[in-house]
Structure 1
């Protein structure tokens, strides 16, 4: 082989490699090997296989739970006769306060305070409706006594009959007699107090999902990755929770210590460090790495090199709301329209409200591709005190982190968009009073936005100029449930391409999506040089062969 041949082949190979790595989508597509051989797999099995749930008491046998009960606080009083520290523990948790524990309580940061959203907006003056999902009894207004131990609702998290329901507008109380809820036509029955009290046990997904699957006023309204389909999912929907797979309850990952449940809390990440190993089955499980380690794939597989910058969820949750639809748009500015002088609803193709006189216009979607942002595990949300810029879209809640943050990863989100009321003069988001009787300013009674805004802001102790407008807004929800089977993971080229999933996430170079012009120019020069070399090499051989034949 002469020098022309060697040089031509080397140049051709180098040129093709340069062009390949600088501009061809899907360059990083590497077949992921059987994850059963991955180093993190054994650790995950240690945390999930062969587990036993210890049951050391049968509450149906306790004499104190056999007496006649007429209310929830009476049941709690009996619970505390044995579990004397439970109420005090629970009252220190976010499930009780609905406030960020790491922020001065006077600032009232949290959904129980002044933090805003763009679905239900805010709890202030609307407590009887919102606190049907509070694990307490009687939070009807700002006079609620958070120190009263007997106001803690033990049954919300621990009863196991599935028959215990709070009335949607009862300030956290069940009804005392059969009652029809006008909004959905359902009849709510009073609890069989002895039966539910004697059933208590370890919380199940039914307990958690009763509130978390229906937050925001309906099934799948808030979280695109949490809805009623997770009550009894198959492993195609969620490999961890699937009843035909691992069959995890929520508390399997959201582990609990003295009633503090592991998870993200407003400005606090789910974990302050990236957990990479588990020591035993008592280790908090909230991070993927807690079970699967930071190298979950077989050594040498390219995906292991992504874990320092890409969250596991980004690859393993390709879409959310895969069974039930979730809201993607909520326009409060269109509320108040009537038909024949009466409020009305119109259902969309999913059988969900596309329009509701009380709440405005909705858009729902199913099987949604997430949007991606850098995320270190904490979110920032606006409060009703914060000044906004109404000339653009207002980010009511957004993820913290960037590519230079060691704890940040590219993470999938549901972005909920909408239009909500704001104060044109003070340039703050407005808390409307929605729930209440006629004459109180409640929007759902009087359908007057000005009165509603004035009443809500006065209740919250905040100024209102009297000039109301509506502003476009966004609010983000991290997507971390509905983990799909490994064969349904996002493929490399879905991100490593010009119009891929990460097309809008800038600030860094990503092969296949971005073009490095110097390398590309050099590559084409090498290609052309290689072609010229091959051409002249071939021409030279033809000439040499002709001379030999002569």
Structure 2
């Protein structure tokens, strides 16, 4: 917290602000005396003023953080919309160290997970469904089921092509969400709303490309961040991610990512890209400021970043249903494939209890293509032979007394 001033987090007037070129100093128009007399606890607004704008704009990189969380509906985020949680109720602090992190940066002040508040067996009923859901909790992250789509409150950027920047004559077009597909300063974009995550095994560690790391330019795509995990690792869970795809520059000789100088320092600035639209000058100046060599030659590469989906948690009745993941439960045989048939239990109702994409579509969400989906998390892509109900789970034990053939 040594590089964040107190008023950024504790202003309650809503008037405290800075200027981009002020090196962190407050805007001269701010009444500092009035702000200092009105300090208070943090809020979704004070946290969101920074975190809603990761990547240079609202909902650009974070798939699940936007100004919509200032006053969300319960179906958007059950914690903030249903119970009016402030960020600090989950991201608790000790000596001003705030637990939690983005998947794109290392842990500095402590990890945070759903089980910090909920137990490892969070489904507290005593029926058949709760029994199986609690067993799932050892293999599946909470948000895999409880955040089946991301950016359902505000579209998020999913593709960013820096190589297309610089065309001041190009007129931006608006997509079906009303979002612009281009800006001459930053390039070409693709936005998505209520998007389906990709699912990967995640054990709490992330592989990251750091500034100066040598890249394998023979790859079609390079992951700047990616989750570390495996179907064979008992500490890994199936977790949801947004992939932020992009095109950005690398040094053609040294094979590492380049740092451009973008924002003009002053009126006399002769190298800033946003003033001169010259990548060569911008890279030369940017790498000098970073203290790194620049060969003078650059090329554009495809990149990916994995961003974990942690917010916009939906109510329990809007979590994924059994049938939306398990294709084997879609027909007449459902839970009675393993359990004895019982007239007291409606197995089909249990298997279909969950997210209604038809209802979400009727409310304007872009999920029509998800209606009727099954194998939602793609078992084969995660290393299974197919639906685990048919082929078995990752650590399935043989029944008692049964011996496998050698």
Question: Residue 410 of structure 1: SS of its match in structure 2?
Answer: strand
| Residue equivalent to 2:6 | 154
Structure 2 CA distance for aligned equivalents of residues 350 and 372 of structure 1: 25
User: CA, structure 1 residues 449+368, in 2 after alignment: closer, same or farther (shift >3 Å)?
Assistant: same
Structure 1 CA distance for aligned equivalents of residues 106 and 235 of structure 2: 14
The CA RMSD measured in Å over matched residues stands at: 2.2
| Residue equivalent to 2:88 | 251
| Residue equivalent to 2:247 | 419
Among 361, 374, 381, the residue aligned to 1:505: 381
Matched, 1:431 2:264: no
Structure 2 CA distance for aligned equivalents of residues 304 and 290 of structure 1: 16
Structure 1 CA distance for aligned equivalents of residues 110 and 51 of structure 2: 21
Among 296, 300, 304, the residue aligned to 1:466: 296
| Residue equivalent to 1:316 | 146
Deviations 1:212-270 (A, max 9, x none): 0012111110101001100111211111111xx21100000000011100113734498
Deviations 1:180-227 (A, max 9, x none): xxxxxxxxxx21212211111111111000000012111110101001
Question: Residue 117 of structure 2: SS of its match in structure 1?
Answer: helix
Contact 2:379–2:385 (CA<8 Å) still a contact in 1? no
Matched, 1:362 2:189: yes
The structure with the larger Rg is 1
Matched, 1:170 2:22: yes
The Cα of 1:506 is off from its aligned counterpart by 2.9
Contact 2:231–2:382 (CA<8 Å) still a contact in 1? no
| Residue equivalent to 1:289 | 115
Q: Which structure 2 segments of 5+ residues have no match?
A: 328-373, 393-406
Q: What is the TM-score when the length of structure 1 is the normalising length?
A: 0.58
User: CA, structure 1 residues 384+397, in 2 after alignment: closer, same or farther (shift >3 Å)?
Assistant: same
- Which piece of structure 1 moves more, 436-445 or 255-264? 436-445
| Residue equivalent to 1:202 | 41
Structure 2 CA distance for aligned equivalents of residues 412 and 304 of structure 1: 18
Deviations 1:251-309 (A, max 9, x none): 0000001110011373449867xxxxxxxxxxxxx321222211112345211111111
Contact 1:335–1:358 (CA<8 Å) still a contact in 2? yes
Structure 1 CA distance for aligned equivalents of residues 190 and 255 of structure 2: 27
Question: How does 1:28-427 map onto structure 2 within 5 Å?
Answer: 90-91=1-2, 96=3, 135=4, 153-176=5-28, 190-242=29-81, 245-264=82-101, 266-268=105-107, 286-297=112-123, 298-299=125-126, 300=128, 301-339=131-169, 345-391=172-218, 392-427=220-255
Contact 1:212–1:226 (CA<8 Å) still a contact in 2? yes
Contact 2:201–2:382 (CA<8 Å) still a contact in 1? no
Structure 2 CA distance for aligned equivalents of residues 206 and 403 of structure 1: 39
Structure 1 CA distance for aligned equivalents of residues 391 and 273 of structure 2: 53
User: CA, structure 1 residues 172+345, in 2 after alignment: closer, same or farther (shift >3 Å)?
Assistant: farther
- Which piece of structure 1 moves more, 414-423 or 431-440? 431-440
Structure with greater contact order relative to length (CA < 8 Å, sep ≥ 6) = 1
Question: Residue 167 of structure 1: SS of its match in structure 2?
Answer: coil
Contact 1:418–1:473 (CA<8 Å) still a contact in 2? yes
Contact 1:268–1:378 (CA<8 Å) still a contact in 2? no
Question: Residue 330 of structure 1: SS of its match in structure 2?
Answer: strand
The Cα of 1:384 is off from its aligned counterpart by 2.2
Q: What is the TM-score when the length of structure 2 is the normalising length?
A: 0.78
